[in-house]
Amino acid sequence: MLTTREDKIMEYFKAFVIGGGICVIGQLLMDLTSYKITPAHILVGFVTGGVFLSAAGIYQPLVDFAGAGATVPLTGFGHLLAQGAIKGAQEKGLLGAFGGGLEASAAGISAAVIFGYLMAVVFTPKGD
Q: What is the pLDDT of residues 46-71, one digit of tens each?
A: 999 999 999 999 999 999 999 999 99
- Res 128: pLDDT: 59
Report pLDDT for 87. 93
pTM above 0.85, yes or no: no
Instruction: State the Cα–Cα distance between residues 82 and 53, nearest whole angstrom.
Output: 9
User: For position 37, what pLDDT does the model report?
Assistant: 82
In 3D space, the residue among 78, 26, 77 whose CA is nearest the CA of residue 52 turns out to be: 78
pLDDT at 3 over 80: no
**Would you say 96 and 90 are in contact if contact means Cβ atoms under 8 Å apart?**
yes
Check if the beta carbon of residue 73 is closer than 8 Å to that of residue 46: yes
Which amino acid belongs to residue 101? G
